[in-house]
């Protein structure tokens, strides 16, 4: 066989999956695998990574937020197409950068001209192009319920889309509640020429904007279909709501990211909790399709299948993350599957076409509620595999001993609380719920290496504390959660160190063929404490063909690379603030260099420094 010339070799290399050298979707692919086939950076040389460029958004002070965060977090995951990197900021600005240098090309400000700016978490934008490639668009939602379309090359509004490039998403779902929250914090999904949106809605009170999922024409902005996440009269699942509990009910929304199987005409919805999150006396029943993974026909919005992972949710156990579309060797066959991570620490894996679990799921009895008027669902689904990624109950021996002061504080707190194990409803007395609302897997989601068959998931070991307090006559709900630390109090000490023994955060690799956890390592550290404590974390991982898993997430201001086979940490870099975001990787068109980029802004639920930096790393020349 004749050897190929260097020119022929380079042409062949360039022809190999150019999309694999970009990052065209929030999740790397429409199915959210967060995997890159690029392997220029690998196990052998990752230790040489250096900062290549830095971009400053100019949004350092992000304190005028509209949610319960102390400082609005910088959670963007960029998309990368044709030499341009597109990101969003907490004020909903969209910015296009040169992928090689970080130089700003254009920016669009949906709050231009406003005297006072609003800041809110925002995880990114969506890129669409026509089959011919002559029409390229950026689509994204805003904190005030607008769907905006921009020309991807210029940042100008799309003529012919809605009104001057804007669709008012509140129309038809929030008309009765003009002052209520209706925000789009995650990138919309795409199926061919449809843009599919969910929204973040209020968690209190229980009546408010609909959580319906809708599809719009990507060129005109016209509504194409609507799926009622709380079924209306005559629709499947309506019988799971007693009396008139479904009417004007808010919640049961898709605030996270959806996934699309274009080949099979399917869109997968991770649906959140019904409002109010912690008391359901006014919504007795199973409450479909809240807390469910739902598969719809993407072209029509018709229901294909669903699986509810929490019945009658009383814990704010949303389906928090983008479903990951994977392929699994199961019973000797290659099965198209979908994996969904949960705040409970479970990972559910289903046949993507039928919705049948690949590993048995058992309904098990769980504790009753002691709150008047509440009827907790008697059982909850427990997957037999994979094993839970976090502790689901605690006893005195589990209380932290990292310092004497922390041990005393946490032991006193522990003994002041009631708990009856997994799925203990918040009671009339102060109650410990493990995992809590920030426990298990969060919107961080997972990444998948199809060659290894490993699914990588980062999780928190963190409980919640609260009691249901009676409300005065005429209040929207009969009871509301409260604690000394506020409505969303955590089981942690004065330093925000979780009250159970470390590790407090881990990165896990699951073999999806066997359902076994093949490795588990602490993720993050606490400066000043001995040992591998792990740390609370928010932000996802990506996997690469170079045998690496990249992740920031932890509250220790560090960015890391792990060996995907073993979990060994191979590289770390300090950041100006913790990276509560998911990185991306791509190859520069001109230089041919692989870059790894992450937003390092801090903020959100955790203390610590904040920043406005987007940081790129690459191998030295």
What gap in Å lies between CA 258 and CA 550, rounded to an integer? 22
Residue 33 and residue 339 in contact, taking contact as beta carbons nearer than 8 Å = no
pLDDT number for residue 61: 73
- Look at residue 184 and tell me whether its pLDDT is greater than 80: yes
pLDDT at res. 20: 74
For residues 246 and 230, the answer to whether their CB atoms sit within 8 Å is yes
pLDDT at 14 over 50: no
pLDDT at 531: 86
The continuous run of DSSP H or E covering 404 comes out as helix 404-415
pLDDT digits (tens, 9 = 90+) for 415-454: 999 999 899 999 999 999 999 999 999 999 999 999 999 9
Q: Cβ–Cβ contacts within 10 Å for residue 398, how many?
A: 15
Phi first, then psi: give them for residue 414, nearest 5 degrees: -60, -45
Cis peptide upstream of residue 205 (ω within 30 degrees of 0):
yes
Tell me: pLDDT of 2 over 60. Answer: no
> How many other β-carbons are positioned within 10 Å of the β-carbon of residue 323?
31
Structural contact between residues 38 and 585, judged by C-beta atoms closer than 8 angstroms: yes
In the predicted structure, residue 8 carries a pLDDT above the cut 50: no
Q: 261 near 255, Cβ under 8 Å?
A: no
Residue 269 has pLDDT above 70, yes or no: yes
| % of the chain beyond a pLDDT of 70 | 96
Q: Quick check: 618 and 594 in contact, CB under 8 A?
A: yes
Higher local confidence (pLDDT), 243 or 206: 206
Q: What is the per-residue pLDDT across 300-334, written as a single tens digit (0 to 9) for each?
A: 999 999 999 999 999 999 999 999 999 998 888 89
Q: Does the annotation count 316 as an active-site position? A: yes
End-to-end, the C-alpha distance of the chain in Å comes to 34
| Dist. CA 135–CA 127, nearest whole Å | 11
Is residue 88 packed enough to be buried (19+ CB in 10 Å), middle (13-18) or exposed (0-12)?
buried
Residue 4, pLDDT score:
41
- Rounded to the nearest integer, the mean pLDDT of the chain is 95
Report CA 261 to chain centroid distance, whole Å.
Answer: 19
Q: Could you give the CA distance from residue 90 to residue 118 in angstroms, rounded to a whole number? A: 8
Least Cα distance to 266 among 232, 242, 298, 292 occurs for 298
d(CA 196, CA 615): 30
Q: Is 265 helix (H, G, I), strand (E, B) or coil?
A: coil
Six-digit token string for 125? 């934008």
* The pairing of beta strand 454-460 with beta strand 464-470: unpaired
* Percentage of residues in the chain having pLDDT higher than 90: 92
Structure confidence by residue, pLDDT tens digits, 55-71: 999 998 788 766 668 89
How confident is the model over 224-243, as a mean pLDDT?
97
Q: Measured at the alpha carbon of residue 545, what is the angle toward residues 542 and 547, in degrees to the nearest 5?
A: 80
Q: Band of the pLDDT at 264, cuts 50, 70, 90? A: very high
Of 499, 504, 508, 401, nearest in space to 461 by CA: 504
| pLDDT at site 63 | 82
pLDDT at position 350 over 50:
yes
Catalytic pick among 144, 316, 449, 493: 316
Contact (CB, 8 A) for 173 and 212: yes
Residue 142, token pair as written in the block: 């805003």
Question: 443 with 538: CB under 8 angstroms?
Answer: yes
Burial of residue 407, with CB atoms counted within 10 A of its CB: 0-12 exposed, 13-18 middle, 19 or more buried? middle
> What DSSP string describes 39-103?
-SS-TTTGGG-EEEEEEE-S------BSSS-SB-------EEETTEEEEE-TT--EEEEETTT--
Residues contacting residue 563 through CB under 8 Å, at least 6 positions apart: 43, 547, 548, 549, 569, 570
Per-residue model confidence (pLDDT) at position 428: 97
Q: What band does 619 get if pLDDT is binned at 50, 70 and 90?
A: very high
Output the pLDDT for position 5: 40
Place of tokens 């499947």: 236
The rounded Cα 449 to chain-centroid distance in angstroms is: 19
Tell me the per-residue pLDDT of 15-50, one tens digit each, with 9 for 90 and over: 344 557 999 999 999 999 999 999 999 999 999 999
Q: What is the mean pLDDT of residues 201-208?
A: 96
Average pLDDT over residues 515-532: 95
Q: What is the pLDDT of residues 453-487, one digit of tens each?
A: 999 999 999 999 999 999 999 999 999 999 999 99
User: Distance (Å, rounded) from C-alpha 610 to C-alpha 63?
Assistant: 11
pLDDT, tens only, 572-612: 999 999 999 999 999 999 999 999 999 999 999 998 899 99
- The predicted model gives 11-17 an average pLDDT of 37
Q: Compute CA 83 distance to the chain's CA centroid, rounded to the nearest angstrom.
A: 26
Q: Considering only CA atoms, which of 317, 281, 287 is closest in space to residue 434? A: 317
């Amino acid at each position: 066989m004749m050897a190929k010339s260097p020119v022929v070799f380079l042409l062949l290399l360039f022809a190999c999956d150019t999309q694999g050298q970009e990052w065209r979707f929030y999740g790397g692919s429409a199915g959210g695998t967060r995997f890159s086939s690029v392997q220029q950076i690998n196990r052998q040389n990752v230790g040489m990574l250096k900062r290549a460029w830095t971009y400053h958004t100019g949004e350092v002070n992000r304190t005028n937020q509209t949610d319960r965060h102390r400082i609005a977090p910088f959670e963007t995951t960029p998309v990368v197409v044709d030499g341009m990197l597109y990101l969003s900021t907490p004020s909903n600005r969209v910015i296009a950068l040169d992928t090689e240098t970080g130089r700003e090309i254009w920016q669009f400000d949906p709050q231009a001209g406003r005297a006072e700016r609003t800041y809110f978490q925002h995880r990114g934008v969506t890129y669409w192009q026509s089959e011919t490639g002559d029409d390229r668009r950026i689509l994204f939602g805003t904190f005030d319920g607008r769907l905006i379309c921009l020309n991807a090359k210029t940042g100008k509004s799309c003529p012919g889309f809605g009104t001057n490039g804007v669709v008012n998403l509140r129309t038809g779902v929030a008309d009765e509640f003009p002052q209520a929250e209706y925000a789009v914090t995650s990138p919309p999904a795409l199926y061919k020429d449809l843009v599919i949106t969910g929204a973040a809605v209020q968690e209190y009170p229980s009546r408010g904007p609909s959580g319906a999922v809708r599809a719009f024409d990507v060129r005109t902005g016209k509504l194409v279909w609507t799926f009622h996440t709380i079924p209306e009269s005559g629709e499947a699942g309506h019988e799971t709501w007693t009396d008139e509990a479904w009417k004007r009910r808010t919640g049961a929304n898709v605030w996270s990211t959806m996934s699309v199987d274009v080949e099979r005409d399917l869109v997968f919805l991770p649906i959140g909790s019904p409002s109010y999150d912690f008391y359901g006396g006014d919504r007795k029943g199973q409450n479909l399709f809240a807390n469910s993974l739902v598969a719809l026909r993407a072209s029509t919005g018709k229901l294909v299948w669903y699986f509810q992972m929490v019945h009658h949710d009383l814990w704010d156990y949303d389906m928090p993350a983008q479903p990951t579309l994977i392929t699994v060797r199961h019973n000797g066959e290659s099965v198209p599957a979908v994996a969904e991570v949960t705040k409970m620490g479970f990972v559910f894996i289903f046949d993507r076409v039928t919705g049948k679990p690949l590993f048995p799921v058992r309904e098990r009895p769980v504790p009753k509620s002691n709150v008047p008027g509440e009827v907790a669902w008697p059982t909850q689904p427990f997957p037999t595999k994979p094993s839970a990624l976090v502790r689901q109950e605690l006893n005195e021996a589990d209380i932290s001993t990292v310092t004497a002061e922390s041990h005393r504080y946490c032991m006193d707190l522990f003994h002041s609380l009631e708990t009856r194990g997994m799925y203990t409803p918040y009671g009339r007395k102060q109650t410990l719920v493990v995992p809590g609302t920030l426990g298990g897997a969060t919107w961080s989601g997972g990444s998948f290496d199809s060659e290894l068959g490993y699914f990588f998931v980062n999780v928190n070991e963190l409980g919640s504390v609260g009691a249901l307090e009676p409300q005065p006559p005429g209040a929207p709900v009969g009871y509301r959660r409260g604690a000394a630390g506020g409505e969303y109090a955590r089981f942690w000490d004065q330093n925000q160190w979780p009250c159970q023994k470390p590790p407090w955060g881990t990165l896990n690799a699951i073999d999806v063929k066997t359902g076994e956890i093949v490795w588990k390592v602490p993720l993050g550290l606490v400066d000043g404490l001995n040992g591998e404590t792990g740390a609370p974390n928010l932000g996802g991982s990506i996997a690469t063909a170079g045998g690496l898993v990249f992740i920031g997430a932890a509250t220790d201001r560090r960015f890391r690379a792990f060996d995907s086979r073993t979990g060994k940490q191979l590289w770390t870099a300090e950041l100006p603030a913790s990276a509560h975001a998911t990185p991306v990787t791509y190859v520069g068109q001109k230089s041919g260099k692989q870059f790894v980029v992450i937003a390092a802004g801090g903020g959100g639920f955790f203390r610590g420094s904040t920043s406005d930096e987007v940081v790129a790393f690459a191998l030295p020349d």
